[in-house]
Structure 1
Amino acid sequence: MQIRHAEPADYGRVIGRVNAWWGGREMAPMLPRLFFVHFEGTSYVLDDEDGQLAAFLIGFLSQTDPEEAYVHFVGVAPEHRGEGLGRRLYERFFEDARGHGRTRVRSVTSPANEESVAFHKALGFEAERVAHDYDGPGEDRVLFVKPLG
C-alpha cells in the first residue's frame, strides 16, 4: 500500500467510515472538509489492494510556531489495525515536517483512549500533561509532544 497526499475527493470516503471505525461514536464533526482542502500537503491516505480506504492522517504545519507541526486526526480501518499503517503515516508526517524545518510534533488524545496513549508513547511522543476541559467542559486531553531529531 502506497501513502499518498489526501485530496478533497477523499473527504466523503473518510467521513463515510470514520464513525463506524470508532465504534459508532460521532467523530465526523472533528473532520470538516477544510482539512482536505487546505492541508493536502501534510495529510495522507492509504488505500488497500482493493482500492478501499485503509488509513488516513490529517496534519498541518503550525501557523503560530514555526518549529511545530500538529497531527489532528488519524484513523485505521478495523480490519487493518496491527499492520503498522498508523506508524507508517506518522513516520511520513515526521519526515515531511522535518523537511519544512519543524523540530517537534504535537498531538492530543483523550486520557480514556488507552490504546491511543500507548500508541503515541510507542512512537516517541512524551505526555506533557493532562489538560482538563481542553476541548470543553469534561473534555480532558493528554497533550503530547515529540522532538524531531
Structure 2
Amino acid sequence: MSTLRHLETNDYYPVLHVVNEWWGGRPVAGILLRVFFEHFRSTSFVIEQDGAIQGFLIGFRSQTNPVHAYIHAVGIDPRNRGQGMGRHLYEHFFTVVSRLGCSEVFSITSPVNKGSIAFHTQMGFEILPGDAEIDGIAVTSNYDGRGGARVLFRRHLASETKEDEVL
C-alpha cells in the first residue's frame, strides 16, 4: 500500500539519484536544489511504498503573491505511471495551498514534454499565452534565461476542497 507524506530533507539524494531516469534521461536533476527539500516541506510531498519513493511533488506558496502557488517539479517512477499517483499528488497540493489562501496554481514545462502538457491540461490547467509557438503550443521564449522556451500553465482553484484531512 502506498503512503502520501511530506517531502523530507533526507529524500534529496534518493530523488536526485532517479529523477533523470524518470524523466526519460533528460538532465533535470539540476533543477532540484536541496533548499527545496529543506524549506518547502509543508507544501511538497512524496508517495512511497515499503520505503521506496514512487513519486514526488515539489511546490510552494508564492511569497511575492500569497494567493499564488507554484508546482516546481513532479516525478513519478515510470513503473507506477497510469495509476493516478500524479493526480493524487496534484489534488493534495491543491487542497493544501487552497487552505493557505491560494486561488491559483502555476507550473511550467518544456515544449518537448508532450506527456506533461497533456497531463496539465487534463488536470484543468490552461496554457498561458506566450511570445512564440512550437508544435501548435504557446511558449514563452528564453523563459529561464538560457535560451529555452517553456509552456506556462495556470489553474484556478475552487474555493472548497475535497479532502477532509491534510498533512
Q: TM-score range by the shorter chain?
A: over 0.9
Which residue of the partner structure matches residue 43 of structure 1?
A: 44
Residues 6-85 of structure 1 mapped to structure 2, 5 A cutoff: 6-48=7-49, 50-85=50-85
Which residue of the partner structure matches residue 135 of structure 1?
A: 144
Q: Segments of 4+ in structure 1 off by > 4 A?
A: none
RMSD of aligned Cα (Å): 0.9
Q: Which amino acid aligns with 1:33?
A: R
**For residues 14 and 137 of structure 1, what CA distance do their matches in structure 2 show?**
24
**For residues 128 and 103 of structure 2, what CA distance do their matches in structure 1 show?**
16
**For residues 112 and 20 of structure 2, what CA distance do their matches in structure 1 show?**
18
Residues 107-146 of structure 1 mapped to structure 2, 5 A cutoff: 107-129=107-129, 130-146=139-155
Which residue of the partner structure matches residue 148 of structure 1?
A: 157
Identity of aligned residues (%): 50
Moved more, 16-25 or 86-95: 16-25
CA deviation string 1:8-66 (max 9, x = no partner): 01101100111111222211110010000000000000112x32110000000001111
Residues 87-98 of structure 1 mapped to structure 2, 5 A cutoff: 87-98=87-98
Gaps of 5+ in 2: 130-138, 159-167
TM-score, normalised with respect to structure 1: 0.96
- Structure possessing the higher radius of gyration over alpha carbons: 2
Gaps of 5+ in 1: none
Secondary structure at 1:64's aligned position in 2?
coil
Q: Which amino acid aligns with 2:83?
A: E
**For residues 80 and 112 of structure 1, what CA distance do their matches in structure 2 show?**
22
**For residues 7 and 77 of structure 2, what CA distance do their matches in structure 1 show?**
16
**For residues 120 and 25 of structure 2, what CA distance do their matches in structure 1 show?**
23
Q: Which amino acid aligns with 1:34?
A: V
CA deviation string 1:94-125 (max 9, x = no partner): 00011001000000011111110010000000
